[in-house]
Homo-oligomer: A and B are copies of this chain.
Amino acid sequence: MELEPRTFEDVPGEVGLVEWKDFVSHKPLRFESGEQLPGFTLRYETYGKLNADKSNAILICHALSGDHHAAGVHRLRDRKTGWWNNIIGPGKPIDTTRFFVICSNCIGGCQGSSGPSSINPETGNPYNLDFPIVTIADMVNAQHRLMTDGFGIERLFAVIGGSMGGMQALQWAISYPDALDRLLPLATTARQGAQTIAFNAVGRVSIIQDPDWNDGNYDHDHGPDVGLSVARMMAHITYLSDKGMDEKFGRERVHSTDARGRFGAEFQVESYLRYQGQSFINRFDANTYLYLTKALDQFDLYGSSGKLEDALAVVKARTLVIGFTSDWLFPPEQNRAIVHALLRCGKQASYAELDMSLGHDSFLVHTPELYELVHRFLN
């Protein structure tokens, strides 16, 4: 029999039991595309306490498949904590005894915020492809509404995010330069190259070619699961690294009983990826996958001039960018380029590169060196 912790205080250093909330804005939200919603919802969680002068708030921006549940547990018996529980908590690098930490599911998402799977009040059916095209700047505009109208926060202590979350963090410093003191993007890029666009594009084709996609108008109990699971499996490879996968899986076989038939999962890496693909379809909406990968692909701070400095000239936040040597999705040189451009603009910026073998997902795993960098940057 397993013992359940009675209260979250039983787990020292942990955020413990948390609840999500919904912020509902009844004011219209205009998207970059020109499309508009009459209002919207952002689902969010907070950890720690907002101080009297509202100066201790940190916004965490999540990656493509992440959500608002960044730390703690929803039920005391949950084994799985929020996605960045290792870095957020009392005494942890993002210290909830000092900071008020906010994480919201992005607009366009499928974990409670308004997105393609939300009900369109005008029709009573899901928006599906009638949902406006979402950009990284749109995500930031919706989050800004949550900060100002939801919390009355005019200035964030910091905005932090990895991968797509790093793009949002960068965009915050550009769209609202006076609204943040510190900027910490990790494992990110100011624009993706052709190879990363290509992987996203194949993921999208996998979904839209699935007959169950039905031009986006699928029944949400019977969506394009095959297409979505294949997209996820492929993308998952890009979040790891050659070396990391060799260390974790090598050429190990699964137990023979699992390797059914001629083309069952023979190698452990096959079995692992199949599990990743299957579990993803239970928690993620296929149209949201299309929308968010499109937002990633279209994000381009180099803009029409081809000069990153043009976009970053307005930045006021003190910046630390962290890249990871083995990240081949958003490789170190793309992270470094952001800091170089900031420095050319005369900004306060530094770059740290961590030598880890786990690839793009390195920012999510237990890394004392990363903790130290984040802790120091916030203190």
Q: How far apart are A212's CB and chain B's nearest CB, in angstroms?
A: 9
CB atoms of A233 and B202 under 8 A apart: yes
6 sampled A-B residue pairs with Cβ under 8 A:
A198-B273, A202-B234, A204-B263, A205-B273, A242-B328, A266-B294
Residue total for A at the interface (Cβ-Cβ under 8 A) = 52
Which B residues lie within 8 Å of A328 (CB)?
Answer: 242, 328
Q: Which of A193, A194, A198, A269 has the most CB of B within 10 A?
A: A194
User: Which of B129, B194, B241, B267 interacts with A250 by CB under 8 Å?
Assistant: B194
A279 at interface (Cβ–Cβ under 8 A)? no
Tell me, yes or no, whether A248 is within 8 Å of chain B by CB: yes
Contact A201 to B270, CB < 8 A, known contacts A208-B263, A237-B195: yes
Verify B233–A194 contact, CB threshold 8 A: no
* C-alpha gap A331/B62 in the complex (Å): 33
Asked if residues A270 and B195 are in contact (CB atoms below 8 Å), the reply is no
Considering the complex, which residues of chain A in the window 158-196 have a beta carbon less than 8 Å from any beta carbon of chain B? 191-195
A270 CB, min distance to chain B CBs, angstroms: 4
Which of B208, B269, B294 interacts with A194 by CB under 8 Å? B269
User: Which residues of B sit under 8 angstroms from A211, Cβ to Cβ?
Assistant: 211, 226
- Closest B residue by C-beta to A204: B263
Copies in the complex: 2
Interface presence of A366 (CB below 8 A): no
Taken together as a complex, chains A and B put the C-alpha atoms of A49 and B371 apart, in Å, by 69
Query: Would you give the 0/1 interface string for A229-250, flagging 1 where the beta carbon is closer than 8 Å to chain B?
Result: 1100110010011100110111
Known: A193-B246, A233-B205. A290 touches B263 (CB 8 A): yes
Q: How far is the CA of A237 from the CA of B234 in the complex (A)?
A: 11
Within 8 A of B (CB), among A306-335: 328, 331
Q: Measured between C-beta atoms, what is the minimum distance from A57 to chain B in Å?
A: 35
Residues of A249-301 contacting chain B, CB below 8 A: 249-251, 262-263, 265-267, 269-270, 273-274, 277, 290, 294, 297-298, 300
